[in-house]
Amino acid sequence: MSHFCSAIIPAAGNSTRMALDGRSKQFVTLGKIPVLLHTLRAFEKAQRIGEVIIAARIQDFVEIRLWIEKLGLRKVKCLTTGGETRQESVASCLELLAPKADYIAIHDGARPLITPALIDFAVNDAVKYRASALGVPVKDTVKRLDGQGFVVETPARDTLWAIQTPQVFERSLYEQAQRDAIGADYTDDCQLVERLGVPVHICQGDYQNIKITTPEDVEAAQAILQKMQKEETQ
């Protein structure tokens, strides 16, 4: 059976850690195009994605639409105004999904180095497990601290993974999770499903799939993008 997966791209953050004087980090340029458009191009090329819905700041709509037209992106169905939180932004997109959509892939707009292959991999994993997310094993030793900064626990590193996006869910499951989470605020979509008692399967992501949060991340992303482009031409 073929499944229709809609992608939701939250891109309405205020970018406070980027010191951009009100300009969204989604428009920081990587190569020759903005961060957000790298993300959208990957979802355009992903075979398992049927449509894309973006939650953004209303003041960014014109520029996003211009870039979508310039790059010929056909899967973007619509833009909607993002909320105060990520959770609110995703909720506003849920109302716009195609009726035939039975899976939802939620991906950070500021995670531009995702590949079409990884997107398809995560969707296929969700079809098998109902809920799935990309992740990578943590490389560093992690400490849990108390309120005074003292170590209280050193979790076993082989059980720790850094979670990425896309995070993909069976639509009915995620919509239930959203309804049950009203009044709470989660920064990670997996948490909504976890609180229902439904296990989320983690599939192997890529360390290059970084999120743009600070100016240092932009420098790292530029270097990774150049490496990826060089590999494509070899």
pLDDT in tens, 171-223: 999 999 999 987 778 888 999 999 999 999 999 999 999 999 988 999 999 99
CA–CA distance, 180 with 178 (Å, rounded to integer): 5
CA angle, 215 then 220 then 9, to 5°: 75
3-state DSSP call for residue 133? strand
pLDDT exceeding 70 applies to what percent of the chain? 95
Domain residues of the chain, as ranges? 5-233
CATH number of 5-233: 3.90.550.10
Q: Give residue-wise pLDDT tens across range 76-109.
A: 999 999 888 888 999 999 999 999 999 999 999 9
Peptide bond preceding 166: is omega within 30 degrees of 0, i.e. cis? yes
CA distances from 208 to 4, 149, 161, 212 (A): 27, 31, 15, 11
| Model confidence, pTM | 0.94
Query: Residue 215 CA to chain centroid, in angstroms?
Result: 19
